[in-house]
C-alpha cells in the first residue's frame, strides 16, 4: 500500500505535535551552542503549516511536501527555514505528481532532501549539523527500501531512517562544530547535542510513527 496525500498530511500533523512538545528542549539545546531560537522557530513554522493544512487540502504527496516547503521558508527564521524549506522542496520535486508513494519513492525523496540541505548549507558529515542525522537516515532508508530483510513498506523505510537519524544526532555530542553559529564556539561546542540534528531525528520519528498507524 502506497503513501497518499492524506497519509502525508497526517504525518505532517503528527510532526507539528512533536515539534510543539519538544519546543523547549530544542530551545535549550540551541541555547548552549546557538541563538536559542531553533525550537521557537520550528514551532512557529509548523503551527503556520497546521493552519494552511486546515485551509487547503493537497491532492498529491508532492503538493503536500511543497506546501511544507513554502510555509517553512516564509515563516521560520534563522538557518532552519531555508534548510528545511529546501529539503521539503527537493523532496516534492523528486516525487513529482505521483498519487501514491512506495518505499523506493520515499527513499528517493529523502535522498533529494539531503542533497538540498547539503547544497544549501554546504555541510558534510562531521560538521555537527542536521546533515549528521539526515545522512545516515537516507542510507538506512535506501537500504531498507531495497532489502528483503524488511517488509519493504513505507513505514519500515521511515522507521529505519528514524532509528539511524537518532543515532546520527547523538553522534554530534562530542563533535566540534564547523558550521553555523555553533562553530564560533570552537572547542566549547563539543559536549552538546546539535539542535538541528535533534529536530531532524524528531521529525523522522514522527513521520515513521504516523506511517505505522496508516
Estimate the share of the chain in helix, then strand, then coil, as percent rounded to the nearest 5: 75, 0, 25
Asked if 92 and 62 touch (Cβ cutoff 8 Å), the reply is: yes
**Which pTM does this prediction carry?**
0.95
Q: What is the mean pLDDT of each run of 10 residues along the chain (214 residues)?
A: 91 97 97 94 97 95 98 91 97 97 96 97 97 98 78 88 98 95 92 97 98 91
Asked if 187 and 175 touch (Cβ cutoff 8 Å), the reply is: no
**Cα dihedral 61/63/65/69 (nearest 10):** 180
Which residue shows C-alpha cell 503556520? 48
Which residue shows C-alpha cell 553522534? 171
Q: Note the pLDDT of residue 78.
A: 82
Amino acid at each position: 500500500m502506497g503513501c497518499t496525500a492524506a497519509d502525508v498530511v497526517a504525518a505532517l500533523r503528527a510532526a507539528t505535535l512533536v515539534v510543539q512538545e519538544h519546543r523547549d528542549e530544542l530551545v535549550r539545546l540551541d541555547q548552549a551552542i546557538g541563538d536559542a531560537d531553533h525550537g521557537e522557530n520550528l514551532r512557529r513554522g509548523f503551527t503556520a503549516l497546521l493552519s494552511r493544512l486546515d485551509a487547503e487540502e493537497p491532492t498529491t504527496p508532492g503538493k503536500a511536501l511543497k506546501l511544507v516547503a513554502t510555509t517553512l521558508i516564509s515563516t521560520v527564521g534563522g538557518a532552519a527555514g531555508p534548510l528545511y524549506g529546501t529539503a521539503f522542496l527537493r523532496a516534492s520535486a523528486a516525487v513529482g505528481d505521483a498519487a501514491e508513494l512506495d518505499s523506493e519513492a520515499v527513499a528517493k525523496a529523502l535522498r533529494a532532501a539531503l542533497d538540498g540541505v547539503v547544497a544549501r548549507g554546504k555541510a558534510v558529515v562531521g560538521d555537527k549539523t542536521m546533515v549528521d542525522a539526515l545522512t545516515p537516515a537516507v542510507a538506512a532508508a535506501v537500504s531498507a527500501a531495497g532489502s528483503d530483510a524488511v517488509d519493504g513498506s513505507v513505514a519500515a523505510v521511515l522507521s529505519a531512517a528514524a532509528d539511524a537519524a537518532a543515532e546520527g544526532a547523538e553522534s554530534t555530542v562530542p563533535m566540534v562544530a564547523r558550521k553555523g553559529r555553533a562553530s564560533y564556539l570552537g572547542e566549547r561546542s563539543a559536549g552538546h547535542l546539535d539542535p538541528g540534528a535533534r529536530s531532524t531525528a524528531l521529525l523522522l520519528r514522527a513521520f515513521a510513527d504516523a506511517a505505522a498507524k496508516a
